[in-house]
Structure 1
Amino acid sequence: LAGMDTWHTPLGEAATAQVREAFFRLTDYPPEDGENVPSAVLDLGGGRILYVPKSLKGVAVFSFKRLCAEARGASDYLAIAREYHSVIVVGIPRMGPENRNEAARFVTLIDALYENKVKLLATADAEPEELYVEGNGRFEFERTVSRLREMQSADYLALGHGES
C-alpha cells in the first residue's frame, strides 16, 4: 500500500475506480475478470454468518450499509479483523445524531480494524474530520477521526497484520 491513497472522497465514480484499482493491485487479480471475484461467507460464531461480496487473498470489500446499518457488534468486527489484512469499505456517508447507531457501529468497526492493524481503504462522502461534524456523539467520534488519520500513515501501513 506504500504510496497508495487509502481514503477516497467524495463518493462517486472516481473514488470507486480508485479502490477498485487498489483491490486488483492488492490481490493480483486481473481487472478484466472483475465480475468473477470470489465472495465468501465469514463464520461469526454462534451460528451467525456474514456474506463478504468480494474476498480474495486476505482482502475484503464491504459496503458501509452491510457493516454499519445492520445489527452488528464488536465480535463481528473482530472476526473480520482477524480474517482479513486489508478491508475496503465503500459508501461511508456523513453522519449525525439521526444515524447515531450507524456511527457507533462505525466507531466499533474502526477500533477492531485499528487494534488488529488491518489496512483500511475507503470511499467516503467526506474527509474523516467532516464525517460527524455536529450533534450528540460528535465528541466520541474524535478518537475515530484520529485513528482514521493514523491508519493512513506510512508507519501504520508498514505494520504487519495483527502486529502491536
Structure 2
Amino acid sequence: MIHEYFRHKAHDQGYTLSHSQQRVIDYMAQQANALLQPDAKPHASRSLYLHGAVGRGKSWLLDGFFRAIPLAEKQRLHFHDFFAQLHQGMFRHREQPDALEATLDELLSHCRVLCFDEFHVHDIGDAMLITRLFKALFQRGILLLVTSNYAPQGLLPNPLYHARFKPVIDLIASRMQVMEVGGPHDYRSQPRSHSQQVFTQGRYLWPGSDQQRLSLGLPRRNGPTSPLMVGARQLQVRLCKQHSVGFAFSDLCEQPTAVMDYLELSRRFDHWIIDELPELGECPIAVQQRFINLIDVLYDQDKHLTLIGERSLRESLGGNAIDLARTRSRLGQLQEISADTPPS
C-alpha cells in the first residue's frame, strides 16, 4: 500500500528516491501496517519526526503517507495553521478546567493520524504550550508525523530559552522515531507537475518600475492605499479586488502582524502581490521572520504570488533569520522577470 503509492508517485514525477527517503517509506509502511491491524491498540504505532535541509522531499513524503493510508480519521495541517486554531480554541474554552483538552476534543475528534508540516519553534511561550500539546497527543494514542528543517536538538536555538525547551526534545526522542531526509538534490529546483503546491506559476518582477506596477493594477510607487480590516487590526492595501490583494512589504511585514493575520487573509484572497521587497538582510530579525511566516502560509495554502523588488531576487534575500533558507528555496520557484515591459 504505502510502498506501492510511493513507487508509482516517484515514477510519474520522474523522481529517483534517495536512500534516506526509501528508509522513511519503509518505516512509514511498518507503522501503517501496525495501525491498520483489526485489533490494533491505540499506541501500536510509533510517531515519526522527519528533518533535513530544504527541498529534500520531507513534505512530499508526509503528503504521500497522508494520501496513501486508507483511513478517514486523519488530518494534515501546516503547524502555523494548527497552532492558530489551538490558541483560538483555548481562548474560547478558557472557563473549562482544561482548556487544552477541550480544544483538542473539538479539533481532533476521532483523529488517529495527525500530520504537521514545517514544525519549528522560536517563541518560549509557544514552546511551553507545545510541551503540553505533545504530551496530550501521545496520551491520546494519535500517530503523529512531523516535518522540520531542524533536528530536535536544533529547535528553539536561542540559548536563553533552549534549556527550557528540553522537555519537548526529550519527549520527541522517547516517543518518536527521528529520521533525517538527506540527499544531494533540491527537489524544488526540478520541474513539477501543475497539481503540486509550489510557486512555479508566480513571478518576481524587478526593478519594480511604475510600468510594471500599473500592468498589475497597482498604483504608482508611494501611491494611495486603502484600509482593510483583518480581525481587529487595520492594514493598508495597495490593491483589493475580488480575490486579489496587493500590499507594500512595509505595510505587511514591518507592522506587528502575526501568522493568524496571514491565515485569515489567505482565506479571503487567492492572488497576492507584495511590492517594494527590500534587502532582507538590512531588516530587523523580527521583520525577516514575519516575511518567512507569510511565505510559509502562502506556499502551504497554494496561493498565487507576484513579488516586486528593486534588485534581483538573490540580492534581495540576504539576512540571517533561522528559517530563511526555506524561504529562499520556495521563492526560487518564481519566474524572475527583469524588464519594464508588462508581464505575460
Bin for the TM-score computed over the shorter chain:
0.5 to 0.7
What is the match of residue 312 of structure 2? 127
Instruction: Give the alignment of 1:3-82 within 5 angstroms.
Output: 6-11=203-208, 13=209, 16-23=210-217, 39=226, 41-44=228-231, 47-82=232-267
For the residues of structure 2 that align with 1:6 and 1:41, how far apart are their CA atoms? 24
For the residues of structure 1 that align with 2:327 and 2:275, how far apart are their CA atoms? 17
For the residues of structure 1 that align with 2:215 and 2:300, how far apart are their CA atoms? 26
Residue among 135, 141, 145 paired with 2:328: 145
Instruction: Answer yes or no: is 1:85 the counterpart of 2:85.
Output: no
For the residues of structure 1 that align with 2:259 and 2:243, how far apart are their CA atoms? 20
**Structure 1 residues not aligned, in runs of 5+:** 25-30, 154-164
Contact 2:235 2:252 in 1 (8 A): no
TM-superposed deviation, 1:97: 5.9
Question: Could you give the per-residue CA deviations for residues 91-115 of structure 1, whole angstroms, max 9, x where no partner exists?
Answer: 0001226522211111111111111
Q: Measured at CA, do residues 98 and 117 of structure 1 come closer, stay the same or move farther in structure 2, by a change above 3 Å?
A: closer
Q: Measured at CA, do residues 118 and 98 of structure 1 come closer, stay the same or move farther in structure 2, by a change above 3 Å?
A: closer
For the residues of structure 1 that align with 2:287 and 2:256, how far apart are their CA atoms? 9
For the residues of structure 2 that align with 1:68 and 1:98, how far apart are their CA atoms? 10
Q: Measured at CA, do residues 64 and 97 of structure 1 come closer, stay the same or move farther in structure 2, by a change above 3 Å?
A: closer
Q: Measured at CA, do residues 132 and 148 of structure 1 come closer, stay the same or move farther in structure 2, by a change above 3 Å?
A: closer
TM-superposed deviation, 1:150: 2.8
Q: Measured at CA, do residues 68 and 95 of structure 1 come closer, stay the same or move farther in structure 2, by a change above 3 Å?
A: same
Question: Could you give the per-residue CA deviations for residues 35-82 of structure 1, whole angstroms, max 9, x where no partner exists?
Answer: 99x9562332xx334343421121111100000111111011111111
For the residues of structure 1 that align with 2:267 and 2:301, how far apart are their CA atoms? 7
Amino acid in structure 2 at the alignment position of 1:116? Q
For the residues of structure 1 that align with 2:309 and 2:238, how far apart are their CA atoms? 19
For the residues of structure 1 that align with 2:243 and 2:277, how far apart are their CA atoms? 21
Name the SS of the counterpart of 1:78 in structure 2: helix
**Structure 2 residues not aligned, in runs of 5+:** 1-200, 337-344
What is the match of residue 280 of structure 2? 95
Contact 1:23 1:59 in 2 (8 A): no
For the residues of structure 2 that align with 1:9 and 1:21, how far apart are their CA atoms? 13
Amino acid in structure 1 at the alignment position of 2:206? T
For CA contacts below 8 A with separation 6 or more, give which structure has more relative contact order: 1
Structure 1 vs Structure 2: percent identity of aligned residues?
A: 26
Q: Measured at CA, do residues 57 and 98 of structure 1 come closer, stay the same or move farther in structure 2, by a change above 3 Å?
A: closer
TM-superposed deviation, 1:118: 1.0
Give the structure with higher Rg (CA).
2
Q: Measured at CA, do residues 72 and 152 of structure 1 come closer, stay the same or move farther in structure 2, by a change above 3 Å?
A: same
For the residues of structure 1 that align with 2:283 and 2:308, how far apart are their CA atoms? 21
What is the match of residue 105 of structure 1? 290
For the residues of structure 1 that align with 2:309 and 2:244, how far apart are their CA atoms? 19
Amino acid in structure 2 at the alignment position of 1:146? S
